[in-house]
A and B are shown apart, each in its own frame.
Chain A
């Protein structure tokens, strides 16, 4: 009996000892990680680490430090297209043929040189693999290797936006020799023939500043510096992205110095971290723009006067200061302010004032004194610093002041997507997040795509954005998109533009050179430590 008791108490002591020993180990790692960067982020939406398939938000975040693309866009002038793997390019006058001249001396992490064959392979693999982002490559007719340093892309139709599109994550340039060796296929039928996906979980084939060590779903991404990178060498030798779903857990880990950056904080956590020693809060405009969509086939939204009245009845500043705690700004149209054709000055010009008296008189003019209509949204979701559930409550109370009873209909996100894409909701809280940074990517609000869901047509607007997409001249395009934004902001349009939330990042204060990017959150390669 005595012996048995001793064994048991021994075991208990051992377990306690191990649990305590285990803890300081991780803290020691925290103290000595000068050239190791640890990031806390929710990476649960990553569907695949394959660069030519990846399309979700965190997937793009995973691709950017590993792969290079032909061109890039960096803060703060995101509409400006800069050379990356392509050192120069020419565009045919009708915007159907793009010829890229590749930079010399660029090599993949395998040591293979970057050639025009790799560009051809990558673009066609994206096209033929039929992944979630392949629609971006739909316009490609052919990719021809002119010489090892020159590649020509021919499009099915004129498209002036293509240059910005090749900066998107799905157009990451992969090492064709390596990917082929692991089952990669770029020919038609690649959607069933390509067997390389599994390989991308523990390897990468890029020419970017980092190489992938491993990616484990809902666990971590581990990146190692690529010493063969052609650009400036990054400061951090290793980057570990830990999956942390819960934003408040992210905040705790940052305060304990177990991570260097927390990327998914909401307004409440950001406020609680303000002024905490050792922590810096960084705020940048996100690419989310949020609007209220009025289905113009539903009563009372079928009356343009009522649509106008709604635009004057909403307490916009209350949304920005009350619900978002000031982490964002009002918007007057769908584009991210600062884009080509939507300067800050124009954004300010297009804002509707909160004017209940005017709203009431418009309702009188419309001859509508009372109406009841449903509001549908993806419940439990946040767009950046904007929690939708609270926004819905606020809209309900604001619209009640002009006699409109918004009946709240929160639904699960995939149900919302289905309903909205089928054009069913009478009123919906919608948002836009671009695939790449060209004004054309925000043009779907007249083109017959988003506006169709709200049963609203604007042939003049549709013709305008179609022409703008085919106009290579930047200045002409700028004027055309200005005109487009003014059109969206007209009183009768079915969109009530609400806010652009900011992206809030919290960092340890020894982290330097933080540069935000609206599509992939931050430029990891530029970061350093004091």
Chain B
């Protein structure tokens, strides 16, 4: 397993290199001019400011040289400096990445638990009223437009009923916990502040529900169809014939074998959530990776855009590796050599 993971890590390198190359080319060959788009109307009239800007961001060098320099910095763990804020991209990501990881994880756990449960229910009670209801729920979950659902939740649960706090990661005037991981739910507990934990939790619930709803749809469908296939297998019939209790057969014998495709889709879902969800982040004022990527792209802040692309790419690689490891844990027949 160790050698397998090492090989995976090595194979990931060309992927990540490719990501840097593509984002670099896209950000340097697009029609918008970096100087004209970043400097103000009148600053573009000042030759000395334009020259300083070009020099500052290496634009006075040939494109190939710029890319080589970027890679050189990258090898030293330096993602470059954001053109917009003049701060290291890594420092900028320290705010948005944990915000996204926190939200994505809460949403994914919700989606995986609820989606698997619903899928099992539907498969066991195939073609019953329960099955129909679950299928309807999953169809709605997949089909509902995220921004519409987010606004709907906000205007009912927060605005009309007052059951949830206003958008944001914490209530107004509350100082965030001193950063350890940057995730408020984790940091508040590590710092021994249950009050902060409760506040952060109450803020994450609505956006997490929005993101989880889509996920529940996918996970439910996959679990149901996979379970149906497994439940029709001979060994399940044998287990029933041995006189085992019904749920024991479902959970111990069937579910374990049905989980592989469910894990695959859950992994994909997690990776997608990690790349940020612009609509949900915008409506719930969540300073996540999606918003950062969009605002950086809009202002042609190419070091920031490349930083986001690299981070998201790395996330995909890590999550895919985790999924593969989970396969082996769940199904002893799978070996990696």
Contact = CB atoms under 8 A, between A and B. Distances in A.
Interface in B104-135: none
A460 interface: no
B168 interface: yes
B29 to A, nearest CB: 13
B198 A435 contact: no
B7 to A, nearest CB: 39
Contacts of A253: 166-167
Interface stretch (B9-17, B38-46, B138-146, B232-240): B38-46
A48 B285 contact: no
Contacts of B175: 214
B298 interface: yes
Interface stretch (B71-79, B157-165, B215-223, B265-273): B157-165
B160 to A, nearest CB: 10
A246 B154 CA distance: 12
Nearest to A417: B37
Contacts of A30: 172
Contacts of B282: 245-246
Contact of A421 (B36, B48, B167, B168): B36
Interface in B193-227: 197-199, 201-203, 205
Contacts of A421: 33, 36, 41, 44
B167 A48 contact: no
A135 B36 CA distance: 14
B146 to A, nearest CB: 13
Contact of B45 (A18, A135, A245, A414): A135
A258 B166 contact: yes
A417 B36 contact: yes
A47 B49 contact: no
Nearest to B169: A219
A47 B298 CA distance: 13
Contacts of B173: 29, 33, 36, 38, 222, 238, 240
Interface residues of A, number: 64
Given A29-B172, A246-B282, A216 B95 contact: yes
Contact of A422 (B36, B171, B203): B36
B101 interface: no
B170 to A, nearest CB: 9
B287 interface: yes
A417 B33 CA distance: 9
B300 A414 contact: yes
A415 interface: yes
A177 interface: no
Given A44-B291, A242-B168, A415-B32, A22 B202 contact: yes
Contact of B32 (A133, A246, A417): A417
Contacts of A104: none
Nearest to A219: B287
B49 A135 contact: yes
A218 B291 contact: yes
A44 B199 CA distance: 24
Contacts of A269: none
Interface string B180-193: 00000000000000
B106 to A, nearest CB: 10
Contact of B40 (A21, A55, A419): A55
A21 B198 contact: yes
Contact of A217 (B36, B92, B198): B92
Given A29-B172, A130-B52, A242-B172, A414 B298 contact: yes
B238 to A, nearest CB: 24
A137 to B, nearest CB: 10
A232 interface: no
Interface in A150-206: 191, 197-198
Given A22-B199, A138-B48, 13 more contacts: A22-B171, A22-B203, A23-B165, A25-B171, A29-B173, A48-B85, A191-B52, A242-B168, A242-B172, A246-B283, A414-B300, A415-B32, A418-B32
Interface of B: 31-33, 36-46, 48-49, 52-53, 56, 84-87, 92, 95, 151, 154-155, 158-159, 162-169, 171-173, 175-176, 197-199, 201-203, 205, 282-283, 285, 287, 291-292, 295, 298-300
13 contacts: A18-B201, A19-B163, A25-B165, A25-B199, A26-B171, A216-B95, A219-B169, A242-B168, A243-B168, A246-B285, A252-B166, A253-B167, A421-B33
Interface of A: 15, 18-23, 25-27, 29-30, 33, 36, 38, 44, 47-48, 53, 55, 130, 132-136, 138, 191, 197-198, 214, 216-220, 222, 238, 240, 242-246, 248-249, 252-253, 255-256, 258-259, 412-415, 417-419, 421-422, 435, 444, 449
Closest 3 CB pairs of A and B: A22-B202, A26-B171, A414-B37
